[in-house]
Amino acid sequence: MANQTLFAHLIITFFVAFTTYVAPQLGDLVEDGEE
């Protein structure tokens, strides 16, 4: 089950990096779509 912990940590790290990079761009797309 040690691999499960490593896998979860990897997902969290990837999710944080993905959200930090994509969230601002995704937010701009949403704002453009609403107007």
What DSSP string describes 1-35?
-HHHHHHHHHHHHHHHHHHHHHHHHHHHHHHHHH-
Tell me, what's the pLDDT at 16?
Answer: 95
Q: What pTM does this model have?
A: 0.52
d(CA 11, CA 1) in angstroms, rounded, equals: 16
Local confidence pLDDT in tens for the 35 residues of the chain = 679 999 999 999 999 999 999 888 888 887 777 66
d(CA 8, CA 4) in angstroms, rounded, equals: 6
- What tokens does 20 get? 């930090």
Tell me, what's the pLDDT at 12?
Answer: 97
